[in-house]
Chain A
Amino acid sequence: MPSNETLRAMHHQMVRIRLFEETIQKAYFEGKTPAFDIAAGPIPGEMHLAAGQEPVAAGVCAHLRPSDAVTATHRPHHVALAHGMDMKKLAAEIFGKDTGLGHGKGGHMHLFDPATNFGCSGIIAEGMPTAVGHALAFKKQSRDDIAVSFFGEGAANQGAFHESLNLAALWKLGVVFVCEDNAWAISVPKDKATAIANNSDRASAYGMPGVLIPDNDPVAIYEAAGEAVARARRGGGPSLIEVKTDRLLGHFEGDPQLYRTPEEMALLKERDALRAFERRLIDAGALAATDAQAVWDAARAEVDAAIEFARSSPAPEPAAALQHVFA
C-alpha cells in the first residue's frame, strides 16, 4: 500500500491533469461554435483528451525519474504531465507557440521533451519500438533507467505491439508496457476488434509477466507498476500491465459519439475514478477535505498560469517552418 504522502501526490497529479485538460477543452472550442470547424480557434487540429485515464498515468509515473524514457500515444497529455513535463511548454505547444516544446512544430500528438525523455506518436502502436530502443541504449550504457511505453487496447492488434514485446523480451530489456484499455478504438469496441478479453494474457506469449488491473484503481496500478518498474531496473526484463480504464470523453473533441449510449456515458461519469479516489482518500483519513480543496485551488492556479503563458507567447515566425529538418 502506498504511503499517504504518495497517495496525496497521485491525487494531486490527477487533479492537475484533469484541470489542465478541461481548460484545454474550453480553449479548443473557442472559435469552433456554433458550427464546428476543426481548423478554427486558438487550438486547431484534432484534440484527444484523457479524462478518466488519469489513474494510469499517475500510478505508473509515480515510480519514474526524469531520465526514464516514456513514450505515449495520440492521447498523451496525462502521461506527459505525470512524467514531469513542464506544463507551460506543453500548453504553449498545444497553442502552436514558439515557446512550446517543439516551437509549435509538433503539436499535441507529437510532444518531445529532452528534460523528461518523453516522446509520443500519433500512429497507433508505433511509439512502442522507440521505447524498446531507449531501453536498449540504457542497457548498453549500464544505466538502471527504464523505458515505459503507454498504448491503447486498439494498438495491441498492430504488428508493432507484437514485435516490440518480442524484441524487449528477447533482449531482456527494461521496458514496462502499459496498455490503457479504454474499451473503445475510436468507435469500435474492443470485443469487435480483439479475439481475447484481456491483452495482459498476451504477455505470456512473449515470456513476460502480464498483470490485469480490472477497475482503473490508482492504488492497484501503483502497486503493479512498482513491481514492473523494479523488475526492469534490476535487469529482470519487460512486463505488460493492462488497465481497464475509462474514456470519459469522445475519441477526439467534436466526436458526436453516436456509438455510445447515454446510459454508458452516465455510468462512466458516475464512476469517475478521480472523484472516487478523492472520496476514498478523504474517507480513509489520508486527505483532509480542506486539503483536497487546496489541491484543486493550487492546480487551478498552475493551469491558469500555464494557459496564460501559452496565450501570451509569441507565434513562431512563419518562415521558421523551413528550419529543423536537419540538425
Chain B
Amino acid sequence: MAVETTRLLTTSKAISEAIAQEMERDPKVFVMGEDIGTYGGIFGATEGLLAKFGPERVMDTPISETAFIGAATGAALSGMRPIAELMFVDFFGVCMDQIYNHMAKIHYESGGNLNVPVVLTTAIGGGYGDAAQHSQTLYGMFAHLPGMKIVVPSTPYDAKGLMISAIRDDNPVVYMFHKGVMGLGWMTPNPRATAHVPEEPYTIPIGKADVKREGRDVTIVTLSLMVHRALDAADDLAKEGIEAEVLDLRSVVPLDREAIVSSVTKTHRLLVVDEDYRSFGLSGEVITTAIEGAFDRLDAPPARLAYPDVPIPYSRPLEQFCLPDRTKIATAVRQLMS
C-alpha cells in the first residue's frame, strides 16, 4: 500500500517551484521583472530562482515596464519563452501598449505565422488597505482584449499546474495571482493559501473551471481570493440547509462556459462573486453565459456581488464596505433562495 505523503506549500512557493521546474526542463525559459531577483518578487512568486539559475536567467529590470515587457515579446519572437512580471496589475497603465497592441496582437496580425509565448505574471487584489492604485483585479479588462489567455488561480495546487501550463502554452498568458492567496507571512493569514502540492511537475488545462465544492441548491461562480470567501459562506449556508456549489473559474480566457451552464442547469440558481468592478466586466459575462445556455433552467434571476464602480478607497471601513465577503455572499445567496 502506497503511503500518501502531504507536502504543504504556500501558493507563492508553488508558483516559484513551477517556474523552477520549467526552467530546468527548458533552457529557453527565463524570468525578468522588478525585484524578482534577490528580493524574490514582492509577492514571492520568484523566490529562490536567482540562487538556482543565476542573473542571466533571473533578471532584475529597471522600473521600465514598456521596455522589458516589450522586450519579452521580442525575445519570444526570436525563440525564447520569457516570463515577465508586472509587479502590480495596476501598473498596466504605463505599458499597456506593449501588452495589448503588441504581445496580444502579433500572432493574429502575422496571420498565425508567429507565436508569442510570453507569460506575464502580475499581482492583483486588495483588502489590505493599499488603496486605489495598488488593489485592483482588472482581469475583466484584460479579458476584454483579444489575444491573451488569462489565468487566475486560487489555490497552491492550481497555481502550480496553471503556471506550468502557462509556460508551455504558445500564446501570451497573463497569470494573475491575488496577494491574498499567496500565503505570505505579512498578509492576514489565509488557511487555504497553504495546501498539499505534489512535487513532480503537472499541468492544469487553461480554460477549465473547477468545482471547489459540490452543491445542489445554488451555484456560486467566482475566482481567485473570492473562492475562499465563497467556500466560507458555503460552510455557513450548509448549517442552514442550503448547499451551495462553488465553481472556481481558474481561467477567465478561455472562459469555461460549459461548466457555468452545466452547474446552473443542476442548481437552477446563480450568484456571481467578483472582486473586479461590477459594470462591463466578468460578472456580466458569466450571467449572460448562464442566460444564453440555461435560461429555462433558472428559478430566479441571476445575481451578482461585485466591486462597486468606484476607485478603491483607502480607509478600512470604506474598503471593507466595497469588498464582497463571507457575510455578504451568504446574504446574497439567502436572497436568491427566497
Contact = CB atoms under 8 A, between A and B. Distances in A.
Interface of A: 69, 71, 100-106, 110, 112-114, 117, 119, 121, 123, 126, 128-138, 140-141, 147, 159-160, 163-164, 166-167, 170, 323-327
B107 interface: yes
Interface in B55-110: 56, 61-62, 64, 66-80, 82, 94, 97-98, 101-102, 105-110
Nearest to B71: A133
A160 B66 contact: yes
B74 A131 contact: yes
A325 B109 contact: no
Nearest to B76: A133
Contact of B62 (A71, A117, A147, A167): A167
Contact of A137 (B74, B98, B106, B108): B74
B222 interface: no
Contacts of B78: 69, 117, 133-134, 137-138, 141
A325 B112 CA distance: 8
B68 to A, nearest CB: 6
19 contacts: A103-B112, A104-B111, A106-B109, A106-B110, A117-B78, A119-B114, A126-B102, A129-B67, A130-B102, A131-B74, A136-B71, A137-B77, A137-B79, A160-B67, A167-B62, A324-B110, A324-B112, A326-B149, A327-B170
Contact of B67 (A103, A112, A141, A163): A163
Nearest to B106: A112
Given A140-B30, A160-B66, A163-B64, A130 B73 contact: yes
B136 interface: no
B72 A325 contact: no
Given A103-B112, A326-B107, A147 B74 contact: yes
Q: How large is the interface on B (under 10, 10 to 19, 20 to 34, 35 or more residues)?
A: 35 or more
Given A119-B77, A129-B67, 14 more contacts: A69-B74, A106-B111, A110-B109, A112-B114, A126-B66, A129-B68, A130-B77, A134-B75, A136-B71, A141-B78, A141-B80, A323-B112, A327-B170, A327-B171
A129 B94 CA distance: 13
Contacts of A123: 97, 101
B73 A105 contact: no
Interface of B: 30, 56, 61-62, 64, 66-80, 82, 94, 97-98, 101-102, 105-115, 146-147, 149, 170-171
Contacts of A105: 108-111
Nearest to B101: A123
A323 B64 CA distance: 33
B111 A140 contact: no
B75 A136 contact: yes
A324 B62 contact: no
B111 A325 contact: no
Contacts of B109: 102, 105-106, 110, 112
Interface SS majority for chain A: mixed
B74 A129 contact: yes
A174 to B, nearest CB: 12
Nearest to B72: A133
A121 B112 contact: no
Contact of A129 (B70, B82, B108, B170): B70
A106 B112 CA distance: 11
B100 to A, nearest CB: 11
A326 B171 contact: yes
A69 to B, nearest CB: 6
A220 B153 CA distance: 56
Among A133, A138, A141, A160, chain B packs the most CB atoms within 10 A around the CB of A133
A134 B68 contact: no
A134 B82 CA distance: 12
Contacts of A166: 62, 64, 67
A134 B108 CA distance: 19
A136 B30 CA distance: 11
A320 B221 CA distance: 33
